[in-house]
Amino acid sequence: MAAVTADQATQAGAGGPEGADGALAAAFDAAVAADERIEPRDWMPDAYRASLVRQMAQHAHSEIIGMQPEANWISRAPSLRRKAILMAKVQDEAGHGLYLYSAAETLGTGREELLDKLHAGRQRYSSIFNYPTLTWADVGAIGWLVDGAAITNQVPLCRCSYGPYARAMVRICKEESFHQRQGYELLLALSRGTPAQHEMAQDAVNRWWWPSLMMFGPPDDASAHSAQSMAWKIKRHSNDELRQRFVDICVPQAETLGLTLPDPDLRWNEERGQHDFGAIDWTEFQEVLKGNGPCNEQRLGQRRRAHEEGAWVRDAAAAYAEKHSTAHTTARTATVRNGEATA
């Protein structure tokens, strides 16, 4: 269901521009309140548009940067089956990046512009990808915990008020769930393997647990965008609600895996019907966001390098397309002229 388009609202709008704007805003608010989807040609508040561009760009960038920590292990994957799974996953991530850039482009921005902002450090990507993958087990921990956290965050986005974003998330969540199960299964194989493999799995979970909890963003009382995003139904749940949900999901899964979570304060709270857990190191989170995490420079550096070193290839493709589209146009024009001459 689409909200009122700008044209319809202008026609229906009362008198001057102010009245029309008021009608547009009222129609937008009504559509959001009625859980209708906002579509690209619908009127929307500038701040809603800007907020979506920020969030979707960050989401797209995370898919692209997120290829790196996992791709780090493609050439060393310990079996051909695992290698195939990992390559397919990294390929999916590039595909998710493409969906999300396309979705963001419906808001009037371009992929090139968004990539430029990423490369210039003016748009962010998820803090989690600034941590290094030091062992093969990290690939499993990323699948289980990082993709798990992403899914917890993203499933509600399938009902986000902006149609193109919501639809991209439906497709992405299906694939992410698959990756998450594969990551879990990878860890399970290690946990039940040799003592050295078990230790490798535990060490990976120890290193990825807290950064995964940070993926839900700052606590509710310190989250700059949360209230507005929830009012616009871009977000459906607060950061802390989603984080709690994730912890409650992970605890029994860790037990099945035969691995422990590195939090001495983690325990079931009978009264709340949820787990209590220890305090997150928000200083570390802030440092990583500021660019001072273990791999920030490396990740952005590799992304910039791939882009710069690939410039001649993109230039070649553009020049070729230009030459050959001109040739086609000329050929078509000639045909038409001949046609006219014959007629």
State CA 340 to chain mean position distance. Answer: 53
Residue 183 touches other proteins, criterion: CB under 8 A? no
From candidates 197, 212, 229, 296, binder to other proteins by CB under 8 A: 197
Residue 67 touches other proteins, criterion: CB under 8 A? yes
Residue 134 touches other proteins, criterion: CB under 8 A? no
Letters for 200-229 (x = contact with other proteins by CB under 8 A, - = none) are ------------------------------
Residue 110 touches other proteins, criterion: CB under 8 A? no
Alpha carbons 342 and 273: distance in angstroms, whole number: 84
> Which residues is 274 bridged to in the sheet?
269
Q: Are 202 and 259 in contact (CB under 8 A)?
A: yes
Cβ nearer to other proteins, comparing 66 with 217: 66
From candidates 116, 171, 291, 320, binder to other proteins by CB under 8 A: 320
Least distance between other proteins and beta carbon 289 (Å): 22
Residue 158 touches other proteins, criterion: CB under 8 A? no
The one-character DSSP state at 269 is E
CA distances from 337 to 31, 106, 288, 323, 324 (A): 51, 38, 63, 21, 20
* Interacting residues of 68 by C-beta distance below 8 A, sequence separation 6+: 129, 299, 302, 303
Locate 302 and state its tokens. 């590799």
From candidates 30, 33, 222, 317, binder to other proteins by CB under 8 A: 317
Cβ nearer to other proteins, comparing 32 with 90: 90
Cβ nearer to other proteins, comparing 271 with 309: 309
Least distance between other proteins and beta carbon 315 (Å): 5
Phi, psi of 162 (to 5 degrees): -90, 115
Please name the helix (run of DSSP H) or strand (run of DSSP E) that holds residue 319, with its range, or none: helix 311-342
From candidates 28, 101, 129, 209, binder to other proteins by CB under 8 A: 101
Alpha carbons 312 and 333: distance in angstroms, whole number: 31
- Taking CB under 8 A as the binding criterion, the range among 26-34, 42-50, 270-278, 318-326 that sits at the site for other proteins is 318-326
Please name the helix (run of DSSP H) or strand (run of DSSP E) that holds residue 171, with its range, or none: helix 163-191
Least distance between other proteins and beta carbon 119 (Å): 14
Least distance between other proteins and beta carbon 201 (Å): 12
Cβ nearer to other proteins, comparing 197 with 226: 197
Residue 78 touches other proteins, criterion: CB under 8 A? yes
Alpha carbons 112 and 308: distance in angstroms, whole number: 13
Strands 267-269 and 274-276: antiparallel
From candidates 41, 314, 328, 337, binder to other proteins by CB under 8 A: 314
User: First-to-last CA distance in the chain?
Assistant: 49
Residue 182 touches other proteins, criterion: CB under 8 A? no
Residue 132 touches other proteins, criterion: CB under 8 A? no
Locate 310 and state its tokens. 């690939």
Total Cβ atoms within 10 A of residue 171? 13
Residue 142 touches other proteins, criterion: CB under 8 A? no
Alpha carbons 100 and 104: distance in angstroms, whole number: 6
Alpha carbons 121 and 117: distance in angstroms, whole number: 6
Alpha carbons 190 and 211: distance in angstroms, whole number: 21
Residue 79 touches other proteins, criterion: CB under 8 A? yes
Cβ nearer to other proteins, comparing 38 with 187: 187
Least distance between other proteins and beta carbon 295 (Å): 13
- Note the residues at the interface with other proteins (CB under 8 A): 64, 67-68, 71, 74-84, 87-88, 90-91, 94-95, 97-98, 101, 136, 186, 189-190, 193-194, 196-197, 302, 305-307, 309-321, 323
